[in-house]
Amino acid sequence: MDKITSVFYNSPMPFMKEQKVKLLLGSLSFGVVIFYLFLFSHVPLLQPDSLSYISFSPTRPIGYPLFLWIVEALTGSHRVVPFLQLFFYVGASFYCAMNFYALSRSLILTTGLLLGILVNIQFIRLAFSILTDSVGGGLLLLFLGMIFSFSSHPRLKTLYGIWGIIGVACLIRPVFYCLIGVLPVLYFFKWDFLRGPILKTILGPLSVLLVLLVFGSFGQYINHGFFRGESFLGNNLIGKVGLIGDPSIPSKHPSVMHAFGKKSQEIRQILDTAPSLRLRYLLSAPYYDTVRFSIAPPLFPPLKSTDAVDSFSKELALEVIKGKPFEYAQDVFMNYMALWQMWDFYSFTEGKEFQILLKTLSTEQTLNAMYVPYSIRAEANGKFGFSAVALTLRCALAVAFVLSFLFPFTAFFLWAKGKSLSPLILSGTLVSLTIQGGCLLTALLQAGIARYALLFWPCVIILLALFLKLILGNLKFR
């Protein structure tokens, strides 16, 4: 038994052995690339959101449109984008896995971690279209790999890399602003290393992030006339509050609020037919887009620019949140749970329950102007298939959810006791804050659709792998 479990222990590995590990994991990664190239060769390059990136819409940060522009300038088209995105995501997965191996010294766990990340089929499929998911996911994996590296061997250049990756990630997907919240905890637990000259350890790395964010804002100013990262916050929030609005809420724009509240009441009449929170979510999720694209804009006064529409939407949405804070908190909680349990994907049995609920709604109630028709949505989301598959995956998510609280609690408990923090515990704490921050920020601003949850799937696999390493490394076999 000792020989079996010794694979999980921290033992020094010869240089040639480490090179063989790289070769093994690299070959595995390359094989995955070939597999996905054959599996998803039919996926359309353009999706509904693609044109907003190609044309650099003011609702998008500059990062991904700039990437597309560079690819087109060098190759003359966007045809190679899927290959670049796939290689980048798989390469970032390999980098993350190698840094996990350096931390855990476990080939079995590292191989399992790499496979666990790359088995994210529904997410990797998005790499074959012009969408930010795979690039954002790759940057997240680079960030996590650097977290492993810094936790075990703190270096100033790694710290600069972490700040830089966060900056680039924020220019790709605004949800990655949540990564900034991880850094104070990193500094807190590594202060012995970081308490040198403030210019070197804080201001220097911070300047990397600020330069990138200013670059993004300057790009928006040049192209669209406003100086900030994107013009989408109000657009997101108005979709959120479209489910909780009320005509009685005080507003600087009473006529708009009254009409908006009436529409919200109609939507709630439909949502209130759901017998469970999960089914209520499935009914509600399409309305976030329906409200922000179809229902709300016709109610607004004439506005000259996309930025003006976004600002007006944000003002109105904040008034609704102020008037209905409890209802907003309920909506946030529902979408937060939807992310952690991937309610968007359901088994055959769960799908039948949803279809039965839809049949109880009349054509008028389901609003023919739905941005995403329920029939299409139901067909696209039946991914789990058999109930046993759904149960297994959701159990894994539930365990990771518990671990995302257990790791930070353990870290602060050990610190309070004056005990040193192992790199495994510190890594688990920072990964926990990463996924919790991402899910919370998403739930605060958007619907908790599974596509957003799959972005943070590597964090789930990492938490499980770290937990196994800690448990197996502390068991004593006689």
Band the pLDDT of 368: cuts 50, 70, 90: very low
Instruction: Kindly give the residue spans of alpha helices, DSSP state H, lying in 1-62.
Output: 2-5, 15-39, 50-54
Band the pLDDT of 15: cuts 50, 70, 90: very low
Contact 274, 283 (CB under 8 A): yes
Closest CA to 457 of 96, 71, 49, 107: 96
Closest CA to 125 of 171, 174, 82, 176: 82
What are phi and psi for residue 365, nearest 5 degrees?
A: -65, -35
Closest CA to 275 of 350, 375, 364, 383: 350
Domain containing 135 equals 2-228
**Residue 313: its pLDDT value, please?**
95
Closest CA to 245 of 263, 261, 229, 221: 261
Higher-confidence position of 344 and 454: 454
The mean pLDDT value of the chain amounts to 88
Higher-confidence position of 11 and 352: 352
Q: What is the DSSP string of 286-321?
A: HHHHHIIIIISGGGSPP-SSHHHHHHHHHHHHHHHH
**Residue 369: its pLDDT value, please?**
41
Q: pLDDT tens digit string along 245-288?
A: 999 999 999 999 999 999 999 889 888 989 999 999 988 988 88
User: Does residue 105 lie in a domain region?
Assistant: yes
Residue bearing tokens 């790759």: 138
Closest CA to 243 of 289, 288, 277: 288
User: Does residue 344 lie in a domain region?
Assistant: no
Q: pLDDT tens digit string along 23-67?
A: 999 999 999 999 999 999 899 999 989 999 999 999 899 999 999
User: Does residue 221 lie in a domain region?
Assistant: yes
**Residue 411: its pLDDT value, please?**
97
Radius of gyration of the chain (CA): 23
User: Does residue 202 lie in a domain region?
Assistant: yes
User: Does residue 258 lie in a domain region?
Assistant: no
| Distances in whole angstroms, Cα of residue 306 to Cα of each of 119, 175, 231, 302 | 39, 21, 7, 11
Per-residue HEC secondary structure of 415-476 comes to HHCCCCCCHHHHHHHHHHHHHHHHHHHHHHHCCCCHHHHHHCHHHHHHHHHHHHHHHHHHCC
Lookup: tokens for 449: 């659709």
The helix/strand/coil state of 347 is strand
User: Does residue 92 lie in a domain region?
Assistant: yes
Q: What's the CA gap between 65 and 71, in Å, rounded? A: 10
Residue 8 has pLDDT above 50, yes or no: no
323's enclosing H/E stretch is: helix 306-323
User: Does residue 217 lie in a domain region?
Assistant: yes
Lookup: tokens for 359: 């049949």
The helix/strand/coil state of 385 is strand
Angle, helices 348-359 vs 277-290, to 10°: value is 70
Band the pLDDT of 4: cuts 50, 70, 90: very low
Q: Provide the number of structural domains found in the chain.
A: 1
Angle, helices 423-445 vs 387-416, to 10°: value is 120
